Each structure stands twice: as structure tokens, then as C-alpha cells.
Amino acid sequence: MNGKVALVTGGSRGIGAATALRLAADGFDVALTYVQGKEAAEDVVRRIEGLGRRGLAVRADSADAGEATDAVTLAADRLGRLDVLVNNVGIGVLGPLEGLSLADVDRVLAVNVRGVFLASQAAAEVMGEGGRIITIGTCMAKRVPGPGGTLYAMSKSALIGLTKALARELGGRGISANIVHPGPIDTDMNPADGPYAAGQAQMTALGRYGTADEVAAAVAYLAGPAATYVTGAELAVDGGHAA
Ligand SMILES: NC(=O)c1ccc[n+]([C@@H]2O[C@H](COP(=O)([O-])OP(=O)(O)OC[C@H]3O[C@@H](n4cnc5c(N)ncnc54)[C@H](OP(=O)(O)O)[C@@H]3O)[C@@H](O)[C@H]2O)c1
């Protein structure tokens, strides 16, 4: 992968940081976006550089249409090209239907759906043959195991449609689009010692949380040379949550 460039949105922590580091270990130069954690983002960049690759942290709020698009263009400009986009940013606003405000609806759709669409559109503009668009969905996109997930599930299931449509739209140019559905993964968003963790672990066949590295490995497969004939696919990395 030496000489190839990846952009991971939300790469300062959690699944995004693990993915950025795994792609760097596989030989990619890696740009990442963040919105609040400048120091954490810069630390990931230092670790990417420690692996001998170029790294770039870009402050870009996916909720802002201009920033979501500009981050892609900036990464491609600064690192010289773009081969892989990992649409990792996502927020979880969970809770009873009656408690969700219009602002909640707009924010979740802006970050989880519109930002992903705009980043993918901008990436498609600069990617060449062999480009890969990889989006992080969720095991809740297709099967919602309990109440409180209306906004999150709605937004993430939209990404399945987007992924399949992108695969059709961009296949003729040799660009693939795939989506990874993580199960419960131990991150700040969903800590394995959180109040709802035991129930989530029980819903998996393996009976445990996954790690950010386990999701990053699947993204690395989709970004790498073994996945040249894989597009429009959904890959569950969920410990058997959907089994
Ligand atoms: N953890 C799970 O159990 C799980 C399960 C299924 C799917 N997922 C999905 O996996 C993805 C990553 O989740 P995670 O658990 O790693 O999340 P996380 O621990 O909350 O990390 C989120 C990352 O995204 C960045 N970010 C948040 N809002 C942003 C915005 N508006 N614009 C730009 N960057 C933003 C954060 O940066 P700052 O700190 O700088 O804001 C951080 O780097 C999400 O799409 C999530 O829905 C997670």
C-alpha cells in the first residue's frame, strides 16, 4: 500500500483511531478528522508517523456540510491523492421516541447521513481506479434489539442504501463501496463497563464486546488487495449479534 492515501473521518478515538493506525501499519499515509480532541488527533498522527507513514489531522465537523466536503479535498491535496475513504464518524442519540427533539433529528441526520453522503461525493470526485469507500454502519441498522434506537437505526440503515447505490454508481470507474456493521465495541461511545454493556454482550454469539482493532481489521481487508472483487457488500463484525 506504500504511496496510497486513506482518510478516516473521526480518527482521533475509538474505531476510527484503531483504523487509522491499522491502515498506516499496512502502508497507507493517513489523514483523519476530529472535531473536539485536537490533542488526541495529533497523538494518532504522531503514532502514524512512528510507523513511517505520513499523517494529517484535520479539524472538520461532519455536521457542517462545507467542512465535511472540504476535509476530503484538503486531505487529497495535502497528501497528493486519495485511495480510501473510511466514513467512520457517527453519533448515537438514543432514547424514547417522545423525548427526541427536532434538533436531535437534524443533528443525527446531518452527522450520520448527510456528512457521509457529502464526504463520499467529494471522495468520488478525486479517487481513481481502485478507490475504496468504506462506511461504518452498525448491527442496529438491520435488527434493533430493544427500544430507544429510532434515530440511530434510521440514520445507519440509510447508509446501507447509500453504499449499494455508490457501488452501482462508481463500479464502472473501478471504485468499490462497502459497509461494515460492528456489534458492541468497547469505545468511549459504548464502554464495555457501561450500564447497558452486559445485555449487549449477551446478545452476541460470542458473549463479549469486540475491540476497535477487530473492526479495524475488517476495514483493512476491504481497503486492501484481497478485496478487489468486493463491492456493495455488508460485512458484520459483531460477534454474532446478527446470527
Ligand atoms: N462503539 C460501538 O459499540 C459501535 C457499534 C456499532 C457502530 N459503531 C459506529 O462506529 C463509529 C465509531 O464509533 P466509536 O465507538 O469509535 O465512537 P467514539 O468513541 O465516540 O469516537 C468518535 C470519533 O468521531 C469523532 N467525531 C464525533 N463527532 C464528530 C463530528 N461531528 N465530526 C467529526 N468527527 C467527529 C470523535 O472526535 P472528537 O473526540 O474530536 O470529537 C472521535 O474521533 C460510529 O459511526 C458508530 O456509530 C460503534
- pLDDT tens digits along 58-115: 999 999 999 999 999 999 999 999 999 999 999 999 999 999 999 999 999 999 999 9
Taking only the tens place, the pLDDT of each residue in 16-48 is 999 999 999 999 999 999 999 999 999 999 999
Average pLDDT over every residue of 160-170: 98
Q: pTM for the full model?
A: 0.98
CB 151, CB 105: distance < 8 Å: yes
What is the distance in A from the centroid of ligand 1 to the CA of 202?
Answer: 23
Taking only the tens place, the pLDDT of each residue in 115-161 is 999 999 999 999 999 999 999 999 999 999 999 999 999 999 999 99
Q: 156: which 3 cell numbers?
A: 445507519
Question: CA–CA separation, 83 vs 1, rounded Å?
Answer: 10
Q: How confident is the model at residue 236, as a pLDDT?
A: 98
Residue whose cell numbers read 447497558? 196
- Look at phi and psi of residue 215 and say left if phi exceeds 0, alpha if psi is from -120 to 50, else beta: alpha
Q: Which of 152, 196, 209, 229 is labelled catalytic?
A: 152
Question: CA–CA separation, 19 vs 211, rounded Å?
Answer: 11
Predicted confidence (pLDDT) at residue 167 exceeds the cutoff of 80 = yes
Confidence bin at 207 (pLDDT 50/70/90): very high
Residue whose cell numbers read 482493532? 213
Predicted confidence (pLDDT) at residue 1 exceeds the cutoff of 80 = no
Q: How confident is the model at residue 2, as a pLDDT?
A: 76
Residue 36, ligand 1, Cβ within 6 A: yes
Residue 152 bears catalytic tag:
yes
Residue 136, ligand 1, Cβ within 6 A: yes
What is the distance in A from the centroid of ligand 1 to the CA of 172?
Answer: 31
Q: Which is the closest atom of ligand 1 to the Cα of 37?
A: 40
What is the distance in A from the centroid of ligand 1 to the CA of 10?
Answer: 6
Q: Which is the closest atom of ligand 1 to the Cα of 185?
A: 3
What is the distance in A from the centroid of ligand 1 to the CA of 125?
Answer: 25
Predicted confidence (pLDDT) at residue 169 exceeds the cutoff of 80 = yes
CB 227, CB 177: distance < 8 Å: no
Predicted confidence (pLDDT) at residue 181 exceeds the cutoff of 90 = yes
Q: Pick the residue whose CA is nearest to atom 44 on ligand 1.
A: 90
